[in-house]
Amino acid sequence: MATVVVMPQLGNSVESCLIVSWLVAVGDAVAENAIVCEVETDKASMEVPSTAAGTVLALLWDEGDDVPVKEPLLVVGAAGEDPKAALAEIGWSGAGDDGSARSTEEPAAVDDEPSAPAADDAPRTAATGASSPRARALAQANSLDIASVSEGSGPGGRVIERDVRAALSNSTAAAARAGAHGSDAAGTGIGGRITTGDLAAPTEPAAEATPATAAASGREYPGPSTATPLKGVRKVIAERMMHSLASSAQLTYTTTARAAGLLALRAKLKGSPEELGLNGVTIGDLVGFAAIKTAAKHTNHNAHLADGTLTTFENVHLGMAVDTPRGLLVPTVRNANQMSLREFSATSKELAFAAIDGRIDPDLLAGATFTVSNLGGFGIESFTPLLNVPQVAILGVDAIFPRAVIHDDGTVGAEQRIGFSLTADHRVIDGADAARFLQDLVKYVENIDITVLG
């Protein structure tokens, strides 16, 4: 009998996954554990394996659909087998009004071609709550009333992310049209507002363009280009960064610290006995350890701000920005303030490698209370890190670089210094608070040999 493959639970905190792309089609033969599709959560992009071997009999969702975990995803069985029996056995016939599976005695027919679940419901609007979590988040980040999206393109008319993007695009076009017609331009909506119908209305013919001087070289303009739609983790990153800026009051403060102690301790640890497990400790580990100590002291920086409530944490769960082949991921070192330097160094490296290899547990990509982003290895001397909301602070670690210094005796010399860029949410962290955080961080860094003993 055919087997129904369901959307796996990719982490305890994951409720649904968006299908980025199907890697199989109806009629394809698949082996057990073969990858059938790529999906994304609000944190990462992953691959879904088949739990059975056989021929793909039906794909139950389209690319772009937001599928609840443990819901039927596709049907695999013997070539030519009818998938309806397997679906009937589990009582599944498509997506319900809330986007979840609904049970009926008569399962919907499944075509031989890839299709979304049968949409036998009447068209629904966002006002009924038939919208995906990603659609609602995008609408909220752009101050769009999701109820204004009259009909979605998801299963059964569910409003999904691409419908919100289309609505936002129409709003932008309407604003552009209004600007082109001048401030007195009126639409057909209430109070003369520009509506989407007005966008299709013919406009006055544009004035005849003045002939432009031909390029002397005759080179093609604009020349070769490549258009690549955002998808997967890159798409998630884009949305999260826009949401971060739109939902918080971010301000960045910069300072530097003498790096001689860091460099000396790093050299000493590198040459330490291997059995101590400290010769792999990096400058980044030392700075991260100092940042943990600072965040534990300044709990207003080790906090979340959500729905008007500030939650401060006693333990520091450190987020680490990691550059991966799929884009930026932020694994969390849980209870980092309770770790020794050796344990912190080993744990952070293990998480970073797991993120780079694409095998990290999605639950470890959430829950951070304070984040560190280190671009010092790229030679960056200063940058503005963006908050990982609902966190209220993030520390950017800059490069170590030589700077001129005037000694107490009046002579001029040079010293190695490391830069820091602290971005804080000004709604809850004042400038003086941020300055005090950086003062303590500088103290811990410049005395790092003592800091690691604590």
Q: Domain containing 154 — which CATH number?
A: 4.10.320
Give the global pTM. 0.64
> In 3-state terms, what secondary structure has residue 402?
strand
What span, in angstroms and rounded, lies between the C-alpha atoms of 18 and 189? 35
pLDDT at 92: 81
Choose among 335, 341, 419, 344: nearest CA to 370: 335
Whether residue 161 sits in one domain with residue 267 = no
Task: Decide if pLDDT at 50 tops 60.
Answer: yes
What span, in angstroms and rounded, lies between the C-alpha atoms of 372 and 282? 15
Indicate the pLDDT class of residue 109, thresholds 50, 70 and 90: very low
Residue 383 belongs to domain with CATH number: 3.30.559.10
- The amino acid sitting at 343 is E
> In 3-state terms, what secondary structure has residue 445?
helix
* Domain limit, last residue, from 45, 69, 90: 90
Q: pLDDT by residue (tens digit) across 193-229?
A: 555 555 555 555 555 555 555 555 678 888 889 988 8
Checking phi first, is residue 358 left (phi over 0); if not, alpha (psi -120 to 50) or beta? left
Burial 222-261 (b: 16+ CB within 10 A, else e): eeeeeeeeebbbbbbeebbeebbeebbebebbebbbbbeb
Asked, for residue 147, whether it belongs to a domain, the answer is yes
Work out whether strand 393-406 and strand 370-374 pair parallel, antiparallel, or are unpaired: parallel
Whether residue 362 sits in one domain with residue 263 = yes
Q: Annotated catalytic residue: which of 111, 145, 357, 430?
A: 430
Whether residue 429 sits in one domain with residue 368 = yes
Asked, for residue 53, whether it belongs to a domain, the answer is yes
Asked, for residue 216, whether it belongs to a domain, the answer is no
Asked, for residue 372, whether it belongs to a domain, the answer is yes
Task: Decide if pLDDT at 380 tops 50.
Answer: yes
Whether residue 327 sits in one domain with residue 390 = yes
Q: Give yes or no for a contact between 9 and 42, defined as CB atoms under 8 angstroms apart.
A: no
Asked, for residue 41, whether it belongs to a domain, the answer is yes
What span, in angstroms and rounded, lies between the C-alpha atoms of 93 and 117? 7
pLDDT at 186: 52
pLDDT at 208: 53
pLDDT, averaged across the chain:
82
Q: Is 430 a catalytic residue?
A: yes
Choose among 194, 304, 177, 238: nearest CA to 42: 238
Cα first-last separation, the chain: 62
Whether residue 294 sits in one domain with residue 405 = yes
pLDDT at 90: 87
Indicate the pLDDT class of residue 120, thresholds 50, 70 and 90: very low
Q: Is 301 a catalytic residue?
A: no
Q: Give yes or no for a contact between 416 and 401, defined as CB atoms under 8 angstroms apart.
A: yes
Residue 72 belongs to domain with CATH number: 2.40.50.100
Q: pLDDT by residue (tens digit) across 403-440?
A: 999 988 999 999 999 999 999 999 999 999 999 999 99
Whether residue 319 sits in one domain with residue 269 = yes
Task: Decide if pLDDT at 126 tops 60.
Answer: no
Domains held by the chain: number: 3
What span, in angstroms and rounded, lies between the C-alpha atoms of 331 and 364? 6
Range of the domain at 64: 3-90
Q: Annotated catalytic residue: which of 181, 243, 304, 426?
A: 426
Whether residue 400 sits in one domain with residue 286 = yes
Whether residue 147 sits in one domain with residue 75 = no
| Segment (H or E) for 73 | strand 72-77
Higher pLDDT, 237 or 273: 273
